[in-house]
Amino acid sequence: MHKDKLITKTEDVIYLILSVLAVLFIGIEVVDLCFVFYSEIRHFSFSDSKPLGLSGVPIFFNIIITLEILETFKNHHSDILGKVKLIVLIAITAIVRKIITLDIKYSEYHLLFGISGLILSLCVGYYFLAKKDKTLSNNLNSPDENTNQ
């Protein structure tokens, strides 16, 4: 029993350290995103064919993924189903980030099929997790019919 408390306290300290580092990372990335956006606006020309703001997209998704990881840290004492849903959501966000930054013209079809299968399997998994979570919450919230009789 004493070991469980020690492990729980150690986990809490590690989550706190990682959360502080994640918040610092987010702050640095936000400053970097603002700098990239400002430099692109400053050098923007309507005659240029390069789209505005495209180089900041990976930074933006780094911020989103880190925020999702922080959400996972906040819920580290919650149920396992909620943790798994958040991890699958982080994975979907990371894959979408890769797709947005991927140059499809020069990608092989094997890679595209692999990414498609990965996204499909993660989305189907998330669907079933959400469905199971909804079923569990409905069972917890509804009174048992046998106790009313």
Instruction: Give residue 149's pLDDT.
Output: 46
∠ at Cα 61 (14, 76), nearest 5°? 30
* 3-state percent breakdown (helix, strand, coil) of the chain, nearest 5: 85, 0, 15
d(CA 79, CA 77): 7
Instruction: Give residue 53's pLDDT.
Output: 62
pLDDT (average), residues 110-135: 89
pLDDT (average), residues 91-97: 85
Whether 32 has a pLDDT exceeding 90, the answer reads yes
Instruction: Give residue 121's pLDDT.
Output: 94
How high is the mean pLDDT of the chain? 81
- Pairwise pLDDT comparison (68 vs 149), residue with the higher score: 68
Ranges of each domain in the chain:
2-140
> How crowded is residue 123: how many other Cβ atoms within 10 Å of its Cβ?
13
Coil, strand or helix at 140: helix
Whether 112 has a pLDDT exceeding 60, the answer reads yes
pLDDT (average), residues 8-22: 89
Portion of the chain with pLDDT greater than 70, in percent: 83
pTM equals 0.63
**pLDDT tens-digit readout, 36-79:** 888 888 877 667 666 666 678 888 888 988 888 888 777 666 67
